[in-house]
Amino acid sequence: MKKLIRNLIGATSALVIAATINVAHVDTAQAADKEVFTYAMTGLYPPFSFRQSGDLAGFDMEIGQALAEEMGMQPNPVANPWQTLIAALKSDRFDAIIGSMAITEERLKQVNFTDPYYSSGAQVFVSTDNDEIKEVEDIRGKTIGVLVSSSFAKAAREYSDNITTYTDDVTALRDLTVGGRVDAVITDQLIGENAILNAGLGVKPLGDPIYVDDIGIAVNKGNEALLENLNKALAAIKANGKYAAISEKYFGRNIAE
């Protein structure tokens, strides 16, 4: 009797293990069958993109995940230096740029953009200890820090010829707190706000944004199918609440509104 029970238990365990292996195999096969959606960002633009335990994280990364899932694809976020993002996209190293890239006439000559997925302003920031610069006009002739190859560089040159470029905005903002490096930084309003709240940097916004940018997802010209699918997926995640949930996580509000 005991032998029979042991045999039954053994057979049942074998069936459970086999079923588990089979389910795992099906799940793996289904994942493998999905087309991969590879999208790029710098990984140096918190809270939009940054590294967390070595992996890419942030608002842009999660928006890309949500869009891929909506399109029935497997998300694959990758990092690439800001100044070569468009060149790498045109070389087919990835499918799209979800990297908080402003839609500009110059960029539209090289790539296409989806509908904007958020808008934000070009904001001037100065050190909290700076009592000399009181309004935006006061930055004329001063040393201004900007992200290299960004739309903010053009705005900065309207105020000064003394431009210092950086590969990431947080370093530029941090240099405001080091005497003699830069007098002001022009960067995305949301980036500066995040640095003040979460990184504890001693910087402050100066007046209203100089202008407001629409931010879009860049895809190669000629890839109309992906552009259409991304626009449909973007509309869907805004409607079903996924976009709002991701935005609330990083900004405490829906930045699309």
Q: In the chain, how many domains are there?
A: 3
Distance CA 218, CA 197 (A): 29
CA–CA separation, 72 and 68 (whole Å) = 6
Q: What is the span of the domain harbouring residue 191?
A: 120-212
Is 124 in the same domain as 194? yes
* Residues 24 and 46 placed together within one structural domain of the fold: no
Q: Do residue 107 and residue 225 come from a single domain? A: yes
Contact of 210 with 186, CB cutoff 8 Å: yes
Any domain includes 257: no
Would 87 be classed as within a structural domain? yes
CA angle 141, 143, 146 (to 5 degrees): 120
Whether the predicted pLDDT of 220 surpasses 70: yes
**5 lies in some domain:** yes
Shared-domain flag, residues 106 and 224: yes
The answer for residues whose C-beta is within 8 angstroms of residue 5's C-beta and 6 or more apart is none
Helices (H), the chain: 2-33, 59-70, 85-90, 105-108, 151-157, 169-175, 189-198, 224-239, 242-251
> Which CATH number belongs to the domain containing residue 147 in this structure?
3.40.190.10
| Predicted model pTM | 0.75
Query: What pLDDT shows up at residue 5?
Result: 42
Structural contact between residues 174 and 191, judged by C-beta atoms closer than 8 angstroms: no
Task: Answer yes or no: is 42 within a domain.
Answer: yes
| pLDDT tens-place string over residues 191-201 | 888 888 788 88
pLDDT for 37 beyond 80: yes
Please report which confidence band the pLDDT of residue 23 belongs to, taking 50, 70 and 90 as the band edges: very low
Same domain for 69 and 87, yes or no, is: yes
Q: Are residues 48 and 15 in the same domain?
A: no
Which pLDDT score, from 0 to 100, does residue 42 have?
A: 96
Helix (H) or strand (E) holding 99: strand 96-102
Q: Are residues 103 and 220 in the same domain?
A: yes
- Domain assignment present for residue 256? The answer is no
Residue with more model confidence, 27 or 136: 136
* Mean pLDDT across 197-226: 93
The reply to whether 184 and 205 lie within a common domain is: yes
